[in-house]
Every structure is written in C-alpha cells, then in structure tokens.
Structure 1
Amino acid sequence: MEEKYETLKIIQESPNSGVFNLIINRPSVSNALSIDFFNEFPKALNELDHNPAVAVVVLSGSGNHFCGGIDLNSLAAIANNNSGDHGRIGERLRRHIKFMQDAITAIERFRKPVIVAIHGACLGLGINIVTACDIRYCSKDAFFSVKEVDVGITADLGTLQRLPGIVGFGNAMELSLTARRFSGEEAKELGLVSRVFGSRKELKEGVRTIAEGIGEKPPLAVVGTKAVMIRSRDVSVEQGLDYVATWNSSMLLSDDLNQAISAYKHKRKPTYAKL
C-alpha cells in the first residue's frame, strides 16, 4: 500500500508510463517547506526507487510556485531549541542539519533520473533541491534567489557545494552573497537550467516528453550513466575512468544490450525489462 504524505504527492498520469510525478504539495504557503518535508521526502524517493514501474521521476511544485524556501516557523523552532549547555546545543543542531542534508542528497542517491520542472519562485531551500537534481528546466515566469544570507543563514543543505559546479565558482559566490533575484532566462545563461519554456503548460508537456524519452531507453544504461556522472564529478579523471570500467564490467553484458542490438538490426522498438 502506498504511503500517504502531508507535504508531497506522487502521481502516475498514465498507467503504461514509467514517468512518475513527485509534487511538493504546500501551495497555500508557496510550498515553503516544514520539517515534515525532510522526513517525508527521502521516504517518497525510497518508495519510488523500489517500484520497478518507475523509470524517471519529475519533481515539481503545486500551486503558483515551485518552492518558497524553508517554512520560517520551522526555522524558528529549530533556532529556539536551545536547552542545555552550549556544546550539547551545538551537537544537537549539527545532527539536525546533517539529517536535513541527507534528505536533499537522497536525490543523488536515488538510482533513476530526477528531472525538476520549476515555475514561479525557487528560493533558498528550493535552490538546494534543484542543484541536487539530474536535469533542470523552468518556465519563463520562474525566478530564483539563494536567499539564506538574507535570513542570517549560511546556506547549509547543498547549494554552496553543488551550485559552483553548475554555474561556476564566481557566479555562485555572487549569487550567494547578494541573494539577488534572477530570472529563468538568466538561470539558462548561467547553466542552472537547460531550457526555459514559454509557459507552465509548455513546461509540463515538454518535460513529460523528455522524461518519456529517457524512460524508453535501456534502464541499466540510464542508471549507470547517472551513477558514473555523479561519482566522476567528485574524483579525478583517472578515478572516474576506473569507476566506469568497474561498472560496465559488471553491468554491460545484459539483456538490455542484446535487446538494443537486435532492435537496431531489425528496425523495431526495443523492449527492456524493468529494474
């Protein structure tokens, strides 16, 4: 039985599709995220990861915005949990931050591709989330801000670690120190998103088409590409080459390979077993 979530929805629009939608669902507060989100988000990803019908996940937000950042009431509750001596307060806070970091890093640990479709506001925590996703698209109305410095926080859930590798160190430093708002078009120029769609409807339809296309590809090659790309990002070229050699030596000789070759030779659509 599928688990029910307070901050998220999981929707499969077509029963024959391997594309599943994971939707941030707090539209009344612009999808500002409470502590419940950090409990539920990795659970939802785990549910999807263990579902063999899932080939690709599209992450989006309900209502008018993708994510308005962290819920300020939740932030205040964390800040005010200050019982005990200074050392114990600091140790407890560090554990809580690590717990929240792990909820975002769960996107990278998730085997299958996660495509994020961004509309409206993507602020603070929203940036942390999208930088962990595999492919990023937005609509023309999207706007972004690395907002944490404005509320007295050093961004601590992944933005400062992942954003420089996406937009360059200098751009990431400027965006993070100024907390300035920037548009979807500028996000495209910086490389934060791969494409800007003209409207939210076009974004939804375009991303669905892209996700369906990825979902039709050999599953082992898709999950392998994600795993090797993420691993290679953090190691030397030589170490990355060694990793992919090990990966392919264990995964290459699969039915997927035979199916792909046979389909190419006979000019037919391949059929791949689910993971």
Structure 2
Amino acid sequence: MDRTTFTYDVEDGIAHIRLNRPAAFNTMNGAFWAEFPAAFDEIAADMRVRAVLISSTGRHFSAGLDLKWAAESQGRAHADPGRARESFRRHVKDMQQCFEAIDQCRVPVIAAIQGGCIGGGLDLVSACDLRVGTADCFFTIQEVNVGIVADVGTLQRLPYLLPQGLVRELAYTGRRWAAKEALAQGFLNQLHDTHEDAVAAGLALAREIAAKSPLVITGIKQVLNAGRDMTIAQGLDYVAVWNAGMLQGEDSSRAIAAQLNKGQASYGDLAP
C-alpha cells in the first residue's frame, strides 16, 4: 500500500519503520492510524522478519496526535447522543489497536527516539520491547495538558515499566520527563549522543536478536506478555506447556552445537 506517514523496508531480517513527517513533527494524522497497523499486518505475514526497529526523522520523534485531525474526528455527530458516544468509543478502540499491534507483534520491537516523544509518541514507544534514545530526548504524557485522559495505552503499559508514583506524577502533571531520568528508571535501555548513534544502536540490537532462533524469540515474547496478567504459578505453567510443545524442533540442537564449537548457529525462518 502507499504510505504517506512513514517509510518501511525489510533488510537482513529487520523491518525498519521510519516516521516521515518531520515538518509536522511526525504528528499522527488520519493516514497514520490506518497505515501503521497495516504495516504490522505485513510483518505478521512476513516470516523473514525477526525484529522491528521504529525510528523517526527530523527534530522530534513524534509530537503525538494531530490535534486538528482529532478535532475533526470528534466533530462527527449523530442526532442520538448514545449512538454518537458509541461510535466514538469504537474510534478510540481502533486507535488503541494501532499500538496493540506492537505489543502483540510476533517479534521484538525496538524504538530509537530523538527529541520530543509526546502524547501518542509515548503511547507508541511504551508498547515497544526496547527503547534507545538520544541525550536530548524527552517524554510527556501530554493528554492532561489538552483536557484528555490518555487513552491509547500509556496509562495501561507504563505501570508495568515504571514505579506507580512516577507514573502518577507524569500523568497528573504532564511535565517533561528527561532522557537521563528515563534511563535511570529503566525506561530507556541505552542513551546516545546523536540521532544517528541511537538508530545505529537500535539496528545493532535488532541484528543481535535476529541472529537468535526465531522460534525461541517469539516464545520469550509470548511468555513475557502472558506473564503480565498471570500469577507466578500460572506463568510457570504457561512456559512449561510452551516448551513442551515447541522445544522439539531443531533450533535447540543447533544452538547447543554452536555453543560447543564456539560458533554461530544459523536458524530457518518460522513457517508461514
């Protein structure tokens, strides 16, 4: 499909999405909300893909929701207020699914962040598995500053990534959360001086992941995601069943042989 809000390519098992509206600070307009999940549909169907990198262009990673488009979307009215509100609920659920596609992606997703990562931008990177940033990057739960309860994932995912007190402070105040603080709190995995260095670091992580068994990597992500909503006992049972079902393939023997020979194993793609 034609894309107007980002570029997309796959090379050496890594899908790279680059937000590409720098003049508009990569705000998320109507086209973005349609194009972004479609790209993840492609990733889901492409067994060559073993990791995803999301980067951006220009001064800021993303200034979040395109407020003009959002105002127009809210303006769709129906004579019956109940039907109007039900329609808007479906609209929000569709937007939520955009970043749920990251969370539920078969492979790990890495974000390389520069400058401002605001509102919807924070929703996006909160759904990623790993985050690297530039020294000048910052994050803002902007919704509180425009009279909205953040509703596309930040308030649901950040409490799994950060202390409750910090999440509540950021959500209540809408203050800038600087890169060094985000690194110290574990939200950022790495910090780099320049945008180019951050993207290079994100690609290096993606390549390292892509060299592992894709069967094991997808299993790790499935087990970690499932464990968020389970007790420890349930999580242990889930991974026992997973390994009982998936560990009978050839990847384990290849990995062990490579370790014994101090070499690098080669793994086939998952079945389509």
SS at match of 1:21: strand
2:224 aligned with 1:237: no
Counterpart of 1:115 (choices 103, 110, 113) is 110
RMSD (Å) for aligned C-alpha atoms? 1.2
- Give 1:126's aligned amino acid: G
Q: Report the AA paired with residue 241 of structure 2.
A: T
Q: Which one-letter code corresponds to 1:5 in the other structure?
A: R
> Are 1:7 and 2:5 counterparts?
yes
Structure-2 separation of matches of 1:27 and 1:49: 27
**Counterpart in 1 of 2:246?**
251
1:154 to 143, 149, 152: 149
SS in 1 for 2:132: strand
Tell me what 1:40 maps to: 35
- Counterpart Cα distance in 2 of 1:253 and 1:209: 30
* Equivalent position of 1:212 in the other structure: 207
1:78 is aligned to 73
1:262 is aligned, of 257, 263, 267, to 257
Tell whether 2:127 aligns with 1:132: yes
The count of corresponding residues between Structure 1 and Structure 2 is 270
Question: C-alpha distance in 2, partners of 1:156/1:211?
Answer: 29
Q: Verify: 1:18 aligned to 2:13, yes or no.
A: yes
Q: Where do 5+ consecutive residues of structure 2 fail to align?
A: none
- 1:144 matched to which residue of 2? 139
**Is the 2:132–2:201 Cα contact (8 Å) retained in structure 1?**
no
Instruction: Note the C-alpha offset of 1:4.
Output: 2.4
My pick for the range that moved more, 257-266 or 112-121, is 257-266
TM-score (structure 1 length as normaliser) = 0.95
Cα deviation per residue 1:70-108 (whole Å; 9 max; x = unaligned)? Answer: 001111012211222211111001011011111110111
Identity of matched residues, %: 38
Segments of 5+ residues of structure 1 without an aligned counterpart are: none
Deviations 1:139-198 (A, max 9, x none): 111111000011110000011111111111111010011000121111112222112111
Pairing 1:183-198 to 2, within 5 Å after superposition: 183-198=178-193
Q: Counterpart of 1:162 in 2: which secondary structure? A: helix
Q: Is the 8 A contact 2:214 2:269 kept in 1?
A: yes
- How far is 1:116 from its partner? 0.6
Tell me, yes or no, if the aligned pair for 2:55 and 2:199 is still in contact at 8 Å: no
Q: Is the 8 A contact 1:122 1:145 kept in 2?
A: yes
- Tell me the CA shift for residue 137 of structure 1: 1.1
Deviation (angstroms), 1:268: 2.5
Give, in angstroms, the shift of residue 243 of structure 1: 1.1
The answer to whether structure 1 residue 225 and structure 2 residue 223 are counterparts is no
The amino acid that maps onto 2:75 is N
Distance 1:265 1:170 in 2: 47
- Quote the offset at 1:54 in angstroms: 1.1
In 2, distance between residues paired with 1:234 and 1:195? 27
Q: Which amino acid aligns with 1:73?
A: K
| Counterpart residue type for residue 140 of structure 1 | A
